[in-house]
Structure 1
Amino acid sequence: MRSTRVATSLFLLVLSACATPRAGGRHIHPPLTGKVWDVAAHRFISWEALEARARAADFVVLGETHDNPDHHLLQARLVRAVASAQRHPSVAFEMLDVEQQPIVDAARRDHPTDPDALAAAVDWAHSGWPAFPMYRPIFAAAMELELPIVAANLSRQRARRVMEAGASAADPAIQARLHREEPLPAARMDALREEMRTSHCGALPETLIDPMVLAQRARNVQLALRLEQADRGDGAILITGAGHARTDRAVPRLVSEDRPQATVLAVGFLEVDPERMAPDDYARAFGAEVLPFDVVVFTPEGATPSTSRAGRSAPLPCRGR
């Protein structure tokens, strides 16, 4: 545990020191680690500037690579930053299915300050998500600050039914939101298909691609609806994979369309790749001309031993979508 805290402290020091560009725009080793990139302004900003933007936003979508501990520590830090502005935002989690909300509420009632009790109640250990200690800092922040915790995701069982039976298997609200986008532009459909191939390491049979795309779209809608519902006047934060945090076709876009007067901030936490020396180099990994986030935070790589470098040529393949 001590080594984890030391590593975390060192990374946060790097984040503070490297959040602005070097003289003349030249990068030194490591070129991007710890830097914060404003996509629209096309410049580096400080971590403090990111916190200020998060405090000013109605909805904050924090897109992670699921098995990178640094991403969760930084998400927790932003949760605390938003709450420091005399706000009481809800914190919604992709990692919790909507059907688990009563379990979450009961765990909060019986153990209001114990993240581990909540993890046990939802059987996190058998959920398929990375080990709970990675996510614990976010839950601890929400509990300490007495923020509502919202189960936001489509369950695997419901997603499977959508894959097998189509959109008619989804809840009426999800069906209606999907229908509003039909017919989906061909370019977006092709991009979604490619995302499914890449995020599953090219292992999906082609016959499953379109059903998987529909399930992914249904998840995006579910997450967006829950995020909107979670707003009780002080906004809401979503903890999710980077694929769901895309501004071009995922949760931020849907929320912006549903709430045009609201401010939505999408933050992507991306692992530095030594073969990509500039922020714009990462856009191609997402099949985009520009990075599909409002702000990007570059972090050290957090690969698990079972994840090969060859399978990780893009920032997020096979994990964290």
Structure 2
Amino acid sequence: MLIRSLRGVLVLALLGGCAGLQTPAQRIVETTSGRSLTRAELMERLRASDVVLLGELHDNPHHHAIRAELLTALGAPTTVVVEQLPRGAAPALPPDADRAALRDALVRAGFDAEGWAWPAHEPVFAAAARAGHGVRGGNLPRELARRLAREGGEALPAELRAPVDAAPLAPQARRALEDDLQQGHCGQLPAARMPGMVWAQRGRDAAMAQALREALSAQPRGPVLLIAGNGHVRRDYGVPQLLAPQLPGRRLLAVGFVEPGQATTASEYDLVWVTPAAPRDDPCEGLQIKGAAAS
């Protein structure tokens, strides 16, 4: 749970020429040009894509509300793959379900209501249900992710290991991933545990990439969508880095959701949506990770 709760809070360091940019309460920015887009322009880009990856800071309610609006505005039903459910899960979400019924349907499909701080993601799931989108799980089972963290890549099933081996990370991307993992552990992650944590992250990304491929195969006309944390939708080390080589000619759109004072580059996302920050305490205050003192 640590990475899930902290990474979105702590990562996305200031980078390059965008640092110091004054941003309004909300702004959609094209990373290659720095140009602001309207919501209408974003929807055009979204509908013209085959795969759309929508990031989040897990504890920012603005991100969930905005993505719910996008799911509603999309119109035609599509498939929405979500990090918050294990791969293979396909919950039946009644379009008129109240909060309790929606939560129960998700929990039956493997949703960890406490770990994901329900009802934080309720707007996204409720919007998907009302629009008739098919929701599919994309994440690794928790125990497999834990095995990867302990044992490394040998624990990853062959169907997921093959695409990871075929698309090794560039040195800069590997460093960025390791830095984000370290920051997500409040700087306390022992060096000996880093390789396993990288494999756990890569395994999750491979699982989500496979779920998106399967969704696109069943629905040849896009877009299919991914709902996941910002780290998973990054082009340099996330799902797109694994997915792009497997879908030549397909159009992928990666959208990061960030807060004022955070910046990014075109190597990470195609677009960033800047929103108001979420109020939060320091998640690292008083934290002590077991084994960290020995690192």
1:33 matched to 2:14? The reply is no
Match of residue 145 from structure 1: 131
Instruction: Tell me the SS of whatever aligns to 2:55.
Output: strand
1:205 to 190, 193, 199: 190
How well do the aligned residues superpose, as a CA RMSD in angstroms?
Answer: 2.4
Match of residue 84 from structure 2: 95
1:58 matched to 2:50? The reply is yes
Deviations 1:160-218 (A, max 9, x none): 11222222211221111122134x44333322221210122212111111110111111
Gapped runs of 5+ residues in structure 2?
1-19, 288-295
* Contact 1:244/1:251 (8 A) holds in 2: yes
1:168 matched to 2:149? The reply is no
Instruction: Tell me the SS of whatever aligns to 1:134.
Output: coil
Report the residue type matching 1:91 in the other structure.
V
| CA distance 1:51–1:112, change in 2 (3 Å) | closer
Instruction: Tell me the SS of whatever aligns to 1:64.
Output: coil
* Contact 2:67/2:124 (8 A) holds in 1: yes
Deviations 1:91-113 (A, max 9, x none): 111010125x1xx43x44xx454
| CA distance 1:88–1:234, change in 2 (3 Å) | farther
1:259 to 247, 259, 279: 247
* Contact 2:63/2:275 (8 A) holds in 1: yes
Shift of 1:305: 3.6
2:215 to 213, 230, 248: 230
1:1-321 paired onto structure 2 within 5 Å: 31-82=23-74, 84=75, 87-98=76-87, 101=89, 104-105=90-91, 107-108=92-93, 111=94, 113-114=96-97, 115-122=102-109, 124=111, 126-131=113-118, 133-182=119-168, 184-231=169-216, 232-235=219-222, 236-273=224-261, 282-283=263-264, 290=266, 292-305=268-281, 307=283
| CA distance 1:120–1:250, change in 2 (3 Å) | closer
Shift of 1:156: 1.7
Percent identical: 31
Gapped runs of 5+ residues in structure 1?
1-25, 277-281, 284-288, 312-321
- TM-score using structure 2 length: 0.80
Shift of 1:233: 2.4
Using CA pairs under 8 Å that are at least 6 residues apart, name the structure with larger relative contact order, 1 or 2. Answer: 2
Larger displacement relative to structure 2 (215-224 or 40-49): 40-49
* Contact 1:36/1:46 (8 A) holds in 2: yes
* Contact 2:182/2:189 (8 A) holds in 1: yes
Shift of 1:291: 5.9
Number of aligned pairs? 260
